[in-house]
């Protein structure tokens, strides 16, 4: 049986293993101890961190803190307009993503060092062009580290408390045609045969691997190659996080 040869996808404007241009603006809002506007290409996410004394009722009596996240796409972030969640109803995609963000951040923070506090990270997508969940995780870590630095300056956290074990960031990888790509935009993501989101620590360990065959199945060697590509992207993102935080970088 004759099989049609796969068509190699030709990416324009950047190399197949190159991130979109990343821009980070810290202290974007003034009402919370941590806020970051982060952009990757045309995808833009506002990450804000709120800190409350006390714990959720289900953690009554515990000494460790809690970190949770909420995610939302604003109506004008896509075209056509995305309807708002009403009456407390959250769609399945939103629930999945905000749980992913929360898990990712909790994987690198020492909740005992946080004390009896609840830290909530809100990730609001202002403009969506692919990679909103991964960019939210990358930006949320910066905002969370910024809020911890603010708490230290206020004397609410010990300067010696090891709040973070390592950093965390996330990136998308995929296969379009027969080409492996790093950091897919919407046009690439919508035609990908394989779509994956990878969350990793700055120490090079995996937090979560989400991989799906969208158009056709994929082989083990392709999965391995995608993970290598993701590792390269995470290293670049970790360097960007470190640069953005400067003296507030929370790790030795």
CA–CA dist 18, 152 (Å, integer): 36
Tell me if residue 240 falls in helix, strand or coil.
Answer: helix
Rounded average pLDDT over 121-142: 97
Hey, what CATH topology would domain 22-248 get? Ribosomal Protein S5; domain 2 (3.30.230)
Contact call for residues 183 and 20 (beta carbons, < 8 A): yes
- Summarize pLDDT for 19-37 with one digit per residue, the tens: 999 999 999 999 999 999 9
CA–CA dist 150, 156 (Å, integer): 9
Percent pLDDT > 90 in the chain is: 81
CA–CA dist 24, 27 (Å, integer): 10
Question: What is the model's pTM?
Answer: 0.94
Nearest to 164 by CA among 251, 50, 35, 66: 251
- Summarize pLDDT for 86-98 with one digit per residue, the tens: 766 778 889 999 9
Mean pLDDT, all residues of the chain: 92
Q: What is the CA radius of gyration of the chain?
A: 19
pLDDT at 11: 86
Residue spans of the domains in the chain: they are 22-248
């Amino acid at each position: 049986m004759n099989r049609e040869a796969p068509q190699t996808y030709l990416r324009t404007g950047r190399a197949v293993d190159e991130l979109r241009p990343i821009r980070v603006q810290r202290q974007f809002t003034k009402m919370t101890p941590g806020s970051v506007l982060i952009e990757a290409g045309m995808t833009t996410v506002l990450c804000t961190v709120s800190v409350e004394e006390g714990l959720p009722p289900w953690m009554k009596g515990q000494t460790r803190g809690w970190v949770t996240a909420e995610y939302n796409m604003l109506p004008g972030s896509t075209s056509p307009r995305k309807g708002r969640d009403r009456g407390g109803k959250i769609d399945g995609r939103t629930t999945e993503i905000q749980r992913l963000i929360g898990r990712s951040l909790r994987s690198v923070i020492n909740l005992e060092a946080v004390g009896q506090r609840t830290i909530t990270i809100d990730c609001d997508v202002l403009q969506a062009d692919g990679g909103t969940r991964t960019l939210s995780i990358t930006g949320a870590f910066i905002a969370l580290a910024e809020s911890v630095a603010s708490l230290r300056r206020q004397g609410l956290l010990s300067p010696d408390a090891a709040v973070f074990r390592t950093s965390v960031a996330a990136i998308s990888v995929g296969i379009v045609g027969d080409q492996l790509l790093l950091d897919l935009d919407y046009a690439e993501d919508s035609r990908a045969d394989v779509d994956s989101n990878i969350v990793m620590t700055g120490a090079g360990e995996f937090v979560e691997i989400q991989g799906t065959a969208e158009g056709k199945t994929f082989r083990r060697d392709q999965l391995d190659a995608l993970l290598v590509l993701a590792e390269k992207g995470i290293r670049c993102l970790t360097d960007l996080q470190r640069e953005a935080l400067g003296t507030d970088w929370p790790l030795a």
